[in-house]
Amino acid sequence: MNKWLLWILLTALTGNPILAAAIILVGWFALDRFTFRFLPDPVRWVRRRMRASALRRTLQVNPHDRRARFELGDLLISFGRHREAVDVLKPNVEAGDDDVPMLYLVGVALLGAGEFERGELVIGEAMERDPGYRVGALWLERGRYRVQRRDAAGAREDLQKLLSYREGSVEGRVLLARAKEASGDGAGAAAMRSEAWREYRSAPLFIRRAERWWAWRARPSRPVAYAVVAALALFAFGRFVAPVVSRAVAAPAAIAQDEP
């Protein structure tokens, strides 16, 4: 309702309902980019899709380009298309690529595609070669999927290992809290969530932006409070400010109509 009143007000000011709607959308997006960053960056999104399309064309011309397959597989995983990533990366594995970065990508793709046993085997092989790869990324990925599978003991082991590499990881603590809760350790889970929130509050701004969603999972009351404040602000605008501005805009037009 408040957005509807804002649209009516802007339509009265601009005389163009489409322009008013565009102003609202751009305004909300700009506000998001400078504050919470809930919305994805459209420029980055477009660039990544364009890059994926370019890599597909490259593989159509030269299907043996392993570098292109590796990069495309990484992009597909970030898009959530794990099964397709497995198919893209398979020729590289068959050609003998078995370094840690390749094993990491293949393992994550397999886990995301639901092939948990194969995925854990591949991730485990990468751990044996370089347990600290990407500051504990292997432990994080396997721990995340073990939490999803309700493997509380395995998840706790992996996520505790992750925190030995990433001492300030908010995500790792939230996931570890879930693993503790699944194993019946409610007090330990609550303590871990509190610890995650403290780590978030003490982190630099760029890390807080990256970890915000996980911090809010540790302290759900915070986004709820923000939503209540935003709703009250919109209500106050629609209830008190918008009618005054609307009357001020309409008054000159009414006077002009009354003049002979």
Tens digit of each residue's pLDDT (9 = 90 or more) over 14-49: 666 676 667 666 666 666 666 666 666 667 788 999
pTM of the model: 0.78
Q: How far is 20 from 15, CA to CA, in rounded Å?
A: 8
Residue 136, sorted as left (phi over 0), alpha (psi -120 to 50) or beta, turns out to be left
Tokens of 8: 């009516």
CA dihedral of 239, 241, 246, 247, whole degrees rounded to 10: 90
Confidence label for 149 from pLDDT (cuts 50, 70 and 90): very high
Tokens of 241: 């400010």
| Identity at 212, one-letter amino acid code | R
Confidence label for 81 from pLDDT (cuts 50, 70 and 90): very high
pLDDT at 256 (0 to 100):
46
Instruction: Tell me phi and psi for residue 101, to 5 degrees.
Output: -60, -40
Q: How far is 235 from 6, CA to CA, in rounded Å?
A: 11
Whether the Cβ atoms of residue 125 and residue 103 lie closer than 8 Å to each other: yes
Q: Where are the domains of the chain?
A: 1-39+220-251
Residue 71 has pLDDT above 70, yes or no: yes
Q: How far is 53 from 79, CA to CA, in rounded Å?
A: 13
What average pLDDT does the structure give for the chain?
Answer: 84
Percent of the chain at pLDDT > 70 equals 70
Q: How far is 8 from 18, CA to CA, in rounded Å?
A: 11
Tokens of 195: 């610890």
Q: How far is 80 from 112, CA to CA, in rounded Å?
A: 8
pLDDT digits (tens, 9 = 90+) for 198-218: 999 999 988 888 898 899 899
